[in-house]
Chains A and B, each alone.
Chain A
Amino acid sequence: MDDVSRVAPPDAGEPYDGGRHAAAATPMLSVEGVTKRFGAGPGTGAVVAVDDVSFDVLPGEFVSVIGPSGCGKSTLFSIIAGLQTATAGRVRVEGRPVRGPHPAVGTVFQEESCFPWRSVIDNVAFPLELAGTARSERHDRARHFIDMVGLRGFERRMPAELSGGMRQRVCIARTLAAGPRLLLMDEPFAALDEQTRLLLGDKVLQIQQALRQTTLLITHSITEAVQLSDRVLVMTYRPGRLKRFVEVGLPRPRTADAVTSPAFGAAVTALWADLREEATRGMREAGG
């Protein structure tokens, strides 16, 4: 791992100490020396997707992980979500080791994952149905989260009747309905157009501010990372290592309008400098 505490971003407040804050708060998420190696196949060597990554996320924080394509971001996401096991290292949520999908963790995937055979309200109410909540109560609670993601009036619609952005909002509402204490999002807006991304980012900001929801976002969009995050973790191209943390010094509460401020531009520029180096290396190694 590079020495993350050495590099302080411009206008970014206190340099980050490698994810080991001396803060008193117990981390919501601890990633400790996580490595993921995919086995060698016939004629191919082993691939190290993630290499010795360590960081913490504190309660109420919004942290983004950014890196070039192929840096192992989604693999890291799967490990934290308990959908894959790490080759080495461990992940802890609220101090408890993650050995599979964790009830405190809610996940929003890159590809929208609405159940197409369920209406919007039945999708959002699904985690509550699993928990045995009575129908009327779970529908009331589902409506609350549907309102929160701005889909009031679409409760009875089927996913096929909605746009991609709306379906992704249904997935966010469904995840929030499960009451996660840590929200994981893997490039949830990757398939959307730029305007929708910004507006959905705004919606996520509102939700995060309303719920003080601890969130870890995997993204390849610098603007998205800066718009939404308290801190941004930059990963290197393969093998995916922690290059450094950048603290985003933008004041909260933020809106999509923050993207026009000089401070936003400065933060984007700082991140791009890091990312360009890695993306260039990635293109070179991929023969691009």
Chain B
Amino acid sequence: MKVGAGLAGLLVMAGLVALLQWAIGAGIVDEYTVPRPTEIAAALPRLVAEEQVVSRFLVTAGETFAAAGLSTLVGTALGAALYRWPLLRRSFEPGFAVLAAAPLILAYPLFLVLFGRSSATVVVIAFASALPPVVLQAVAGFAAVRPVLLAAGRSLGLGRAAEFRHVLLPAALPSVFTGLRLALMFGLINVVGVEFLINLGGLGALINELSERYDLPGTWAAIGLVVLVSACFFVVLDGGERWLRRRG
């Protein structure tokens, strides 16, 4: 069933690519705006040979992983603290909601001053952008845990720490993973965005360089690689979530 659904998705995607190829050939879509998919595919070996795509791919993936991982760890801990102390939640939850909607990436000059033109700047901006949605998701997840599960845990003699480990965290795991997904999305967007803006490091910088050279097939191929980074993370995340659920 799952294989069938995946195959159907791939077929739809292939159909859309074929449609785009046809639309460009027919002059419906301007080929100087969107190159033919066959040209984009042909640009990939050139990028691998000439633009150190593999190392750039790993830089972007690594920075995204660091930012998303950090924001998930810190965000889940902060979410747990906000859940545990209602006064803290009332004080800070609105602030996190505001931050979640703020385009922190625009403050990149400040981060450049603080952390220099380095991967640290990229990771810190991505972390700061991914953190608020993770906190909000985590606190909502903890708050939605059925009180009777907590009462059952307490009646079995669980203390605060054991209650968190054995009841709260597993019960809120779907929300924590939704937070992790958001962290990856926000993290990747911001990593690529900052790399593009400060022309440093991974695929974002590559997209910047290729677009400045008007190498449209190369630019679109690099954008495709960003999508590939995202797909890799989501496959790993799905597997991790299934594994954790099996472990209880």
Contacts and interface: CB of A to CB of B under 8 A. Distances in A.
Interface of A: 81-83, 101, 103, 105-107, 109, 111-113, 115-119, 122, 126-127, 130, 171, 178
B156 A178 contact: yes
A115 B162 CA distance: 14
Contacts of B245: 117
A117 B173 contact: yes
B98 interface: no
27 contacts: A83-B154, A83-B155, A101-B154, A101-B157, A105-B155, A106-B155, A107-B155, A109-B148, A109-B151, A109-B152, A111-B146, A111-B148, A112-B148, A113-B146, A113-B152, A115-B149, A115-B152, A115-B248, A116-B171, A117-B170, A117-B171, A117-B248, A118-B248, A130-B156, A130-B157, A130-B158, A171-B152
Interface in B145-182: 146, 148-149, 151-152, 154-158, 162, 166-167, 170-171, 173
Given A101-B157, A130-B157, A83 B149 contact: no
Interface centre among B148, B155, B171 (most CB of A within 10 A): B155
Given A83-B155, A178-B156, A113 B170 contact: no
A51 B149 CA distance: 28
A101 B162 CA distance: 14
A111 B154 CA distance: 15
Given A109-B152, A117-B170, 16 more contacts: A83-B151, A83-B154, A83-B155, A101-B155, A101-B157, A107-B151, A107-B155, A109-B148, A113-B146, A113-B149, A117-B173, A117-B245, A126-B166, A127-B156, A130-B157, A130-B166
B192 to A, nearest CB: 35
Interface string B29-66: 00000000000000000000000000000000000000
Contacts of A112: 148
A115 B154 contact: no
B248 A103 contact: no
B141 to A, nearest CB: 13
A185 to B, nearest CB: 12
A105 B171 CA distance: 24
A107 B152 CA distance: 7
Nearest to A81: B155
Overall SS of chain B's interface: helix
B151 A115 contact: no
Contacts of B167: 115
A254 to B, nearest CB: 28
Contacts of B248: 115, 117-119, 122
Interface centre among B152, B154, B248 (most CB of A within 10 A): B152
Contacts of A118: 248
A63 B155 CA distance: 20
A93 to B, nearest CB: 13
Interface in B48-95: none
B152 A103 contact: no
B167 to A, nearest CB: 7
Contacts of B173: 117
A103 B151 contact: no
Contacts of B149: 113, 115
Contacts of A111: 146, 148
Nearest to B155: A107
B168 to A, nearest CB: 11
A137 B32 CA distance: 70
Contacts of B152: 107, 109, 113, 115, 171
Interface centre among A107, A111, A117, A122 (most CB of B within 10 A): A117
B5 to A, nearest CB: 21
A113 B157 contact: no
A106 B151 CA distance: 12
A83 B146 CA distance: 16
Interface string B172-201: 010000000000000000000000000000
Contacts of A107: 151-152, 155
A221 to B, nearest CB: 20
Contact of A103 (B157, B162, B170, B171): B157
A127 B152 CA distance: 11
A115 B156 CA distance: 13
B148 A115 contact: no
Contacts of A127: 156
A105 B166 CA distance: 20
A115 B149 CA distance: 7
Contacts of B146: 111, 113
A113 B154 contact: no
A126 B166 CA distance: 10
A114 to B, nearest CB: 9
A196 to B, nearest CB: 19
A105 B157 CA distance: 10
A34 B135 CA distance: 42
